[in-house]
Amino acid sequence: MLAAFRPGWLRAPPTLNDLPAIAAATLIGAPVLAACLGGLLFGGGMAWDQVVETRLWFYLSSTLGVLLLCAALVLAAAVPAAWLVSAFDFPGRPILDWALVVPLAAPGYVIAYAYADLLGVAGPFQSAIRDVTGLAARDFWFPDVYSVPGCAFVLAACLYPYVYLSARAAFTTQSVCALEAARSLGAGPTRAFWQVALPGARPAIAAGLSLALMEAAADYGAADFLGVPTLTVGLVRTWASFGDAAAAARLSVFLIAIALAFQWLERRGRGQGGVQASSIRWRAQERVRLRGLTAIGASLFCLTVLATGFLVPVARLVWIAIEQRASVAPLSDALWNSVLLAGMGAAFAFVLAVIIALGARHRKIGARLGQIAASAGYSVPGAVLAVGGLMVLSILPLSLTGGTAIALLVWIYASRFTAAGAGPMEAALMRAPASLGHAARSLGAGPLRQAWSVDRPIALSGAAIGALILFVETLKELPATLMLRPFNWDTLAVRAHAYASDERLAAAAAPSLLITLAGLGPILILCRQLARARPGGQ
């Protein structure tokens, strides 16, 4: 009787065809499981007692404060921008429509470096105020970027595209009938937004917000640089100060709980995302053309959001790099290390992503386990996975040096980012007609032959963007690289963080810009897809 209540993928026992996906799931999920079990079973001791007595409250309160403020700022920026570009026509809208996604190319720590220079005491804004007013630095109030609100602002500036993309998709594909009915009943644009468009898009907005907040909770570089003691910062500091992986693992349990909560919210939002509509749901909505001050205001709002998240901080880093180029240290070794590690990590993650994507088409237990493991690895911060890897390493007679450290780091990269590579491949498989599989089976092809001869070529059609995403994500990863890299093995991210921590922003600008430039590749591809994504039109 109980079998009737189990999902279909749990009813059938695993077969030999499930072994590749089960092996991939084991490799991906092992660091998460090790961190969780290590924290629950072995995380006590003097180091943990010291953390509880002196720092745990600050870690929890700072993390909660950053997340709450970041959520408010993200919603205030992303939802109105998404509604404006979806429902109205105004000067610059065709460019702003896709350009608002570009801030995803820059990691949070890069944006933090730029705003620390812009808003600091010696920065251009405060310097201009002192020059104009004649006041000293202590004679007037100015927002402090080295604070919880400052960290929330920086993270919101680069993470709002998660909510923007979700809200834009929801507004673009909403029922035309509902909006036309609201207008026929005398509702203006503002009332139609609050009473019709926003309630229909709320599940998608919640899903996008949960993804943004997962990234905010996982951030290390921005929070550490700005001096905000979040849980992720505390985890890395606990490992660095005490050398106690078990105590760090116990802190990671809090981050895992936060990640699971946001993941549940994202899945719940995705599950409620469907809205009933008539047969003309996919008819292109006619945008309302704005004129006069209203059109200028819409353009300025969207441009301000884009400038805050990308144009201003990146322009400042470019200015610093050009102005003080004589002080920029050579980056050839860091660039080579970054490319090598990112290439190996992306290659390993790519193989695992192919296995999971191929298995997902058949919805067997191995494929489902692979999807769950990949999703868990992607939602958990890199610092947590690094601690899990250290817990696994402590069981083996190996030390964190040389080739062992590199192999461990590549494994953690794969655990963290396999889901990002599997997504485009699964999307390509979903677009393929099911008749191809039926035809293969009717010709006598078994599951393995069908996967190799039919599903694999289809999945690899999404491989280019998947491989590019994997490479860029591993290139940007900071906390895991910082914790596990071999001695004197710096990547661009590590080098930028070290320079910025030493207040050498001129030296940090060049590696930060290289990381951002690499991130523009997949973002521009995404922007191209967005330009074609509007049903019934461009």
Highest mean predicted confidence (pLDDT) among 308-312, 360-364, 422-426 = 308-312
Q: What is the pLDDT of residue 178?
A: 58
CA distance 299 to 160: 18
Residue 5 has pLDDT above 50, yes or no: no
* Positions of CATH 1.10.3720.10 in the chain: 13-42+327-501, 52-274+281-323
Highest mean predicted confidence (pLDDT) among 74-88, 170-184, 191-205, 258-272 = 74-88
> How far is residue 60 from each of residues 44, 56, 228, measured CA to CA in Å?
18, 6, 11
CA distance 501 to 466: 33
Q: Domain spanning 52-274+281-323: which CATH class is it, in words?
A: mainly alpha
Listed in sequence order, the residues at least 6 apart from 214 whose beta carbon sits closer than 8 Å to its beta carbon are 258, 259, 262, 263, 266, 379
The 10s digit of each residue's pLDDT in 16-56 is 666 777 888 888 889 988 888 888 888 677 888 888 888 88
CA distance 524 to 452: 31
CA distance 303 to 283: 28
Q: Is 34 within 8 Å of 393 (Cβ atoms)? A: no
CA atoms within 13 A on the CB side of 474: 31
Residue 390 has pLDDT above 80, yes or no: yes
The 10s digit of each residue's pLDDT in 95-108 is 998 899 999 889 99
CB atoms within 10 A of CB 303: 18
Q: What is the pLDDT of residue 17?
A: 63
13-42+327-501 belongs to which homologous superfamily? MetI-like (1.10.3720.10)
Highest mean predicted confidence (pLDDT) among 8-17, 68-77, 172-181 = 68-77
